[in-house]
């Protein structure tokens, strides 16, 4: 998720938190009567250890919390959704493929023009430093897992999810293949109060025979269980 604002901004947040915790530690120590070391060496060591403790506390808050199951809870808070979109969770929707149009050109096929919708479940695990996506169709014909995931915002400041996946099909049909790669770019929008991921996807499925597919995907987020 940090990709939305970049590693440099993340480093700044870490630095600000480290300084804040270090100053807090030093101030609390003085308030409870802990003497301030005298002499440059002892004073420097005191400051150094205070900032070391601050950096440790900052890492625990920023990365410990950011990598835990509490992070999605914070993303669901309305005041933070402008920074961290609410992606983590289970999404239900459909994949519409242009396979009917492609298969209509195969020998012995019957003409077909309509897109073929397939119900599917998208599961997103979003943390501060990582994000993963898995997709499973209701037909159980195949399943996929993430190879590469990215998140960003378009010129209209709308978050979008891009990912490359590898698909496995244990028992492919004669016109299919047991393994292929695919990619998708899904924009996150609020549609009638429901978070919705919508956009195109495409594959290199059986590309050497000109049978690679593309289509449109739409997924709506299910309430957290």
Flag whether 71 is in a domain.
no
Flag whether 164 is in a domain.
yes
24 and 130 share one domain? no
- Does pLDDT of 160 surpass 90? yes
113 and 198 share one domain? yes
Band of the pLDDT at 82, cuts 50, 70, 90? Answer: confident
Give the residue numbers spanning the domain of 9.
Answer: 2-66
Flag whether 22 is in a domain.
yes
- Does pLDDT of 75 surpass 70? yes
Mean pLDDT, residues 105-131 taken together: 78
Based on the structure, what is the number of domains in the chain?
A: 2
- Amino acid 206: pLDDT: 85
- Does pLDDT of 78 surpass 80? no
186 and 122 share one domain? yes
208 and 110 share one domain? yes
Flag whether 81 is in a domain.
no
| Sign of the CA dihedral with 108 first, then 109, 110, and 111 last | negative
Band of the pLDDT at 52, cuts 50, 70, 90? Answer: confident
121 and 192 share one domain? yes
Band of the pLDDT at 60, cuts 50, 70, 90? Answer: confident
Q: What is the end-to-end Cα distance of the chain in Å, rounded?
A: 22
Q: Which is higher by pLDDT, 36 or 190?
A: 190
Mean pLDDT, residues 74-101 taken together: 85
Mean pLDDT, residues 114-123 taken together: 82
Q: How far is CA 62 from CA 114, 139, 159, 178, 210, in A?
A: 49, 40, 22, 41, 48
- Does pLDDT of 112 surpass 70? no
For residue 101, give both structure tokens. 């149009």
- Amino acid 113: pLDDT: 55
Longest dimension (CA), the chain: 92
Please give the distance of CA 126 from its chain centroid, rounded to a whole number: 5
pTM: 0.79
User: What mean pLDDT is reported for the chain?
Assistant: 85
Band of the pLDDT at 108, cuts 50, 70, 90? Answer: low
120 and 188 share one domain? yes
40 and 97 share one domain? no
106 and 35 share one domain? no
61 and 93 share one domain? no
Band of the pLDDT at 109, cuts 50, 70, 90? Answer: low
Q: Which is higher by pLDDT, 100 or 135?
A: 135
């Amino acid at each position: 998720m940090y990709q939305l604002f970049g590693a440099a901004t993340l480093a700044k947040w870490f630095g600000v938190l480290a300084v804040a915790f270090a100053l807090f530690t030093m101030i609390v120590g003085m308030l409870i009567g802990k003497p301030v070391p005298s002499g440059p060496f002892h004073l420097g060591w005191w400051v150094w250890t205070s900032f070391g403790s601050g950096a440790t506390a900052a890492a625990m808050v920023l990365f410990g919390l950011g990598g835990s199951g509490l992070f999605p809870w914070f993303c669901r808070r309305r005041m933070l959704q402008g920074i961290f979109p609410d992606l983590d969770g289970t999404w239900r929707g459909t994949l519409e493929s242009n396979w009917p149009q492609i298969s209509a050109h195969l020998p012995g096929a019957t003409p077909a023009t309509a897109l073929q919708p397939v119900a599917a479940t998208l599961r997103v695990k979003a943390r501060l430093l990582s994000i993963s996506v898995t997709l499973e169709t209701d037909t159980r014909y195949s399943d996929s897992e993430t190879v590469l995931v990215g998140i960003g915002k378009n010129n209209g400041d709308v978050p979008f999810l891009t990912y490359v996946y590898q698909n496995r099909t244990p028992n492919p049909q004669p016109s299919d293949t047991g393994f292929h790669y695919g990619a998708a770019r899904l924009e996150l929008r609020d549609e009638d109060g429901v978070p919705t991921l919508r956009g195109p996807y495409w594959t290199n499925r059986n590309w050497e025979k000109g049978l690679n597919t593309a289509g449109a995907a739409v997924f709506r987020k299910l309430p957290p269980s």
